[in-house]
């Protein structure tokens, strides 16, 4: 089976979608599937430093980068467009990632021209909050480009049952298949010494750390978190909030102002994006993980917090109701009072919080590893190619 994965960019600044595509490609390749990725060299305000328009061999897949020019978030690449029309027919199936980005549109058009089946993964962008954000621009683009592509897809990959439920009012004719993101179990079996994190950020030493791990972006709910954390900090002055994430759009001053207005900015450390051992050390140093998002596809960082055995407080916008059903996380509404109360509960009852973290770790290790996810997705691919009913 030859699979082509198309994504607008793989730069680390784009967070979860870029990370999960790479890790999925590796896991699919480990199953003996031939996997190629094509993408642009975009990386926020810079470009990735890779050879362009040549295959780069990774562990179990290949990737080819194309030059682009930026128009808002659309990442237009004429060379990638040409390549797709010339080479899509070389593959059994194409899997595109993202909507509202020009880079993937030519893949859909080329697939339709050459009669190659394709799967689309919107990564949460069909969620009502995501569709309403900058709605004036998205409505035209969705009607003209995205809806026709979605209607012709062999399947649309939803990352969570709640994401699929939110997409139903759109009345899409293509089958929705639920296949979530995952983690590599070996990355979380033994976390590094938290001292590595304390040395880098000494203000966090000897504090009860609440960790937010995600982009500094309006949809991540930092305005909600500021109100909730101020209430937590008033009761637990030894707490310290770590906001670990990249600011791609210049939102950091606004985010900092939320905490300043609540009088708790001195108890917040903005670290920027953490990667590698430093990120895992932050997870090891934390006492509680929090994700106050308005909208997610299926958050990679939530999986990482749970796989680290942390008690997690997440919102319904994180699209992970299964965590609540397994009593593996506090899943709260988009409400500052509920958010604050759940954080306080974790801090006030550390033994119960630890037990919840243990359940979270077990749930992720049993059901959300990339090996299992790749196997499930490969079955979807096979069903499409055999023109059989799709189950997922």
**Quick one: pLDDT band at residue 134, thresholds 50, 70, 90?**
confident
Give the residue numbers spanning the domain of 196. Answer: 187-367
**160 and 274 together in one domain:** no
Q: What is the pLDDT of residues 68-93, one digit of tens each?
A: 986 656 688 999 999 999 999 999 99
**Quick one: pLDDT band at residue 167, thresholds 50, 70, 90?**
confident
The secondary structure of the chain in percent helix, strand, coil, rounded to multiples of 5, reads: 50, 20, 30
| pLDDT at 392 > cutoff 70 | no
Q: What is the pLDDT of residues 232-291, one digit of tens each?
A: 999 999 999 999 999 988 999 999 999 999 999 999 999 999 999 999 999 999 999 999
**199 and 341 together in one domain:** yes
**174 and 240 together in one domain:** no
Alpha helices in the chain, H assignment, sequence order: 16-30, 78-87, 105-114, 128-132, 135-141, 147-152, 161-167, 195-200, 222-235, 252-261, 276-285, 300-307, 321-325, 336-348, 350-367, 370-385
Report pLDDT for 301. 93
Specify if 199 maps to a domain. yes
Q: Is 208 exposed, middle or buried (0-12, 13-18, 19+ CB in 10 A)?
A: middle
CATH code of the domain covering residue 160: 3.40.50.2000
**54 and 167 together in one domain:** yes
Domains held by the chain: number: 2
In this structure, are strands 239-244 and 268-270 parallel, antiparallel, or unpaired? parallel
**17 and 34 together in one domain:** yes
Average predicted confidence (pLDDT) for the chain: 93
Residue 5 pairs in a beta bridge with 37, 95
Specify if 392 maps to a domain. no
**335 and 352 together in one domain:** yes
**350 and 380 together in one domain:** no
Q: What is the pLDDT of residues 193-238, one digit of tens each?
A: 999 999 999 999 999 999 999 999 999 999 999 999 999 999 999 9
Specify if 390 maps to a domain. no
Specify if 198 maps to a domain. yes
Specify if 323 maps to a domain. yes
**237 and 358 together in one domain:** yes
**Quick one: pLDDT band at residue 391, thresholds 50, 70, 90?**
low
Instruction: Pick the range with the lowest mean pLDDT from 11-20, 55-64, 97-106, 205-214.
Output: 11-20
């Amino acid at each position: 089976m030859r699979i082509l994965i198309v994504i607008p960019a793989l730069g680390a600044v784009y967070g979860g979608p870029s990370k999960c595509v790479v890790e999925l490609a590796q896991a699919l390749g480990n199953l003996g599937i031939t996997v190629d990725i094509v993408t642009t060299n975009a990386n926020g305000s810079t470009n990735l430093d890779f050879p362009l328009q040549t295959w780069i061999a990774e562990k179990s897949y290949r990737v080819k980068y194309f030059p682009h020019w930026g128009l808002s978030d659309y990442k237009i690449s004429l060379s990638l467009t040409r390549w797709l029309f010339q080479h899509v027919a070389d593959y059994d199936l194409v899997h595109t990632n993202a909507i509202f980005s020009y880079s993937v549109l030519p893949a859909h058009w080329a697939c339709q021209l050459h009669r190659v089946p394709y799967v689309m993964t919107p990564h949460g962008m069909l969620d009502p909050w995501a569709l309403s954000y900058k709605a004036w621009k998205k409505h035209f683009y969705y009607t003209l480009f995205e809806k026709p592509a979605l209607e012709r897809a062999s399947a649309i990959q939803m990352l969570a049952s709640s994401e699929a439920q939110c997409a139903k009012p759109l009345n899409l004719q293509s089958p929705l298949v639920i296949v979530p993101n995952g983690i590599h179990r070996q990355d979380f079996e033994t976390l590094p010494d938290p001292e590595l994190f304390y040395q880098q950020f000494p203000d966090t030493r000897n504090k009860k750390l609440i960790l937010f791990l995600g982009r500094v972006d309006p949809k991540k709910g930092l305005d909600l978190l500021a109100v909730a954390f101020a209430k937590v900090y008033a009761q637990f002055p030894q707490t310290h909030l770590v906001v670990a994430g990249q600011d791609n759009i210049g939102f950091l001053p606004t985010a900092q102002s939320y905490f300043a207005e609540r009088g708790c900015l001195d108890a917040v450390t903005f670290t920027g994006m953490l990667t590698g051992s430093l990120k895992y050390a932050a997870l090891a140093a934390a006492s509680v993980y929090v994700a106050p998002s308005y909208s997610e596809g299926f958050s990679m960082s939530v999986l990482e917090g749970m796989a680290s055995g942390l008690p997690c407080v997440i919102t319904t916008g994180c699209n992970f109701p299964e965590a609540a059903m397994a009593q593996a996380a506090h899943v709260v509404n988009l409400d500052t009072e509920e958010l604050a109360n759940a954080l306080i509960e974790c801090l006030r009852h550390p033994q119960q919080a630890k037990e919840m973290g243990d359940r979270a770790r077990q749930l992720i290790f049993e059901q959300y590893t990339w090996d299992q996810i790749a196997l499930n997705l490969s079955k979807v691919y096979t069903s499409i190619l055999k023109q059989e009913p799709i189950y997922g």
